[in-house]
């Protein structure tokens, strides 16, 4: 493991190891205070962030390392047209590890392909946000002591919520996990998550638009913000923005050991009065995210030291190169035109492929499928 772009890059065993390390860091921070002395983390943030950027900064500082970077594209040479690939090559000369957030889906993949140091995806558009999921998993482990035999409710924006998709992907690997998907019709979980994750892992799930009905059955409630920035129609956002508001009154019907989570930032979907409820775990989740990021930095720096060669992110994959163009306007290939259009084959018989950058599903014709390359 050299870079982390999405949750499937990490095996269950690797996640268990990270949780163990994070737990030890939380208990004995002094043991780790010099672990990254002389090491530099570069935080390249092309999109706003409070938690992720500052928790990575705090994580590296608490490990004894240093941090450099930028927090908006306007203060980088991105405004002059510098590509993500060139930025990653350049920053590899200054730092030992990169944490990158971008609105372009696949930006972290391109960075990892071109950097000579590990890259951590800290959010690429609506695609993935794996370190949020790692913090979420650590929180569930600390609160519940297990990942199996849990009923997990996801509430709010299940369509655009990348943290929801990633946590579903991660939790689906454990036995006896049930999901309750609570959303308005317009923000339901995308079908690709249902078919490619839930169906593949044989996970039981129900869908409802009623938080009140779902609450009594839940062990974990994962609230989400309706994400204004992902809507193209402002009127649609106005219609949906107040779909769910968790209040003290509603919580009366919930289990006494319910764990209430939220990736934050919140707008109004959890009343501030809920913060005093011992079941509110969302600020603990923030702290847990920092410990998990410390564990991840340690793991990736150790892996890079053991195996300094550049990682081939497509190794072992069957791919199509420049046979068709990704049609996702948010994909990094839409704006960085020098990039090859690469698709990995997910169903050779049906010609179903996915863009390696943004995971957009596309269908190749039989002629294209004859030119599949094995990496």
Residue ranges in contact with ligand CP by CB under 6 A: 49-52, 132, 263-265
Burial of 324 (0-12, 13-18, 19+ CB in 10 A): middle
Q: Give the CB-side neighbour count of residue 270, counting CA atoms within 13 A.
A: 24
What is the torsional sign of CA 77, 80, 81, 82?
A: negative
Residue number with CB closer to ligand CP (52 or 139): 52
Residue number with CB closer to ligand CP (114 or 122): 122
Specify the DSSP class assigned to residue 368. Answer: H
> Which of the residues are catalytic?
51-52, 80, 101, 129
Collapsing DSSP to helix, strand or coil, 49 comes out as coil
Residue 80 CA to its chain's centroid (Å): 28
d(CA 127, CA 106): 8
Residue number with CB closer to ligand CP (286 or 353): 286
Tokens of 141: 């482990």
DSSP H or E segment with residue 346: strand 342-347
Burial of 64 (0-12, 13-18, 19+ CB in 10 A): middle
As measured in angstroms, the least distance from the Cβ of 264 to ligand CP is 5
């Amino acid at each position: 493991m050299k870079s982390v772009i999405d949750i499937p890059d990490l095996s269950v065993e690797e996640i268990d190891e990270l949780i163990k390390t994070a737990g030890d860091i939380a208990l004995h921070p002094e043991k780790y205070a010099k672990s990254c002395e002389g090491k530099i983390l570069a935080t390249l943030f092309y999109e706003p962030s409070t938690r992720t950027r500052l928790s990575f900064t705090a994580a590296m500082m608490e490990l004894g390392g240093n941090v450099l970077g930028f927090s908006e594209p306007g203060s980088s040479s991105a405004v002059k047209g510098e590509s993500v690939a060139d930025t990653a090559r350049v920053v590899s000369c200054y730092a030992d590890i990169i944490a990158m957030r971008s609105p372009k889906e696949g930006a972290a993949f391109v960075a990892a392909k071109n950097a000579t140091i590990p890259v951590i995806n800290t959010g690429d558009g609506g695609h993935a946000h794996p370190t949020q999921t790692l913090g979420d998993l650590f929180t569930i482990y600390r609160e519940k002591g297990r990942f199996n035999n849990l009923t997990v409710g996801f509430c709010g924006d299940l369509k655009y919520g990348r943290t929801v998709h990633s946590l579903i992907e991660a939790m689906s690997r454990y036995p006896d996990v049930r999901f309750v998907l609570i959303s308005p019709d317009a923000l339901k979980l995308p079908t690709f998550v249902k078919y490619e994750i839930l169906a593949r892992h044989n996970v039981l799930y129900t869908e409802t638009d009623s938080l009140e009905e779902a609450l009594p059955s839940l062990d974990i409630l994962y609230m989400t913000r309706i994400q204004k920035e992902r809507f193209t129609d402002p009127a649609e956002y106005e219609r949906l923005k107040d779909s769910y508001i968790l209040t003290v009154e509603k919580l009366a019907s919930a289990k006494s050991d319910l764990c209430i989570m939220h990736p934050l930032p919140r707008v109004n979907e959890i009343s501030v009065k809920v913060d005093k409820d011992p079941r509110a775990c969302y600020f603990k989740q923030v702290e847990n995210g920092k410990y998990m990021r410390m564990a991840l930095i340690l793991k990736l720096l150790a892996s890079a030291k053991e195996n300094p060669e550049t990682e081939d992110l497509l190794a072992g994959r069957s791919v199509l190169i420049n046979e068709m163009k990704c049609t996702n306007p948010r994909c990094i290939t839409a704006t960085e035109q020098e990039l090859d259009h690469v698709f990995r084959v997910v169903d050779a018989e049906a010609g179903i492929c996915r863009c390696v950058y943004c995971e957009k599903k596309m269908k190749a014709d039989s002629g294209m499928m004859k030119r599949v390359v094995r990496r």
